[in-house]
Structure 1
């Protein structure tokens, strides 16, 4: 499904009624598997991913009035998904802070994994703030599985310039992620 088709479905979300129902069905059919994989790769347990998916689709409906069709529909969907995932991380962080006491124990290795995931999530958030265009381009390649020619078109750059841009973004991202891997 290309960006123009996604734009049209988001416009249908805005319309409400039967058009909204059809749009939700189409979006769910097309993207639910990708969104679920994205969430699970970022540490959301399978048991929670369906609830979070429900929240994501409600957020699509709530936020769709702010969307203006411009050929960026897929990026808009992914920004909502990332926003809901960030909300979940914040909520989990608050819950964990409230429940820990001085006598808590953890299984061997689980602390390092949780700490690594939290560090990477935090660094990705900072990276996204510092390099929003680069983060969006990475998202198109990794999450939406777009090739560099498609990304070049979305960015309005030549293929060669996009290849160089992606190389620079990967280097910059490494600088953000490396401290998580060393510590």
Structure 2
């Protein structure tokens, strides 16, 4: 019942009806970004459990695939944050480069392999910024950082990506 004493419809059946359609999309979204089938499976399960909890809230949401992918994005960011906390052996990094005109066409599979080798926080920043197409302030908000700190993080993450990405021509490396 809501505050007016009216019985509200149960959103559970709507979520269940959406499950078959949404499962491959949520799983595919997570797998493409984390590169690990086991991690994507765990995060998919966490996402659907969070959706069930949200449907029990007041007011209940209207479940859609986009809403579920939003939950999955948050679960992925939480996963990266936890992994980063475990790996806090950060070393000092040099000053960011002011202009960086490194423009090459990246091999998608190789790029995913390189992303998987980066620290979780670097992977999270690059994925949210370039794969999800988020603006820097939105990336900062998702990662719980200031915009300035996120810009610096993105500079370091791009440098780490370039360092590990094998270039096809000798002169391509910055």
Q: TM-score, normalised by structure 2?
A: 0.47
Larger radius of gyration: 2
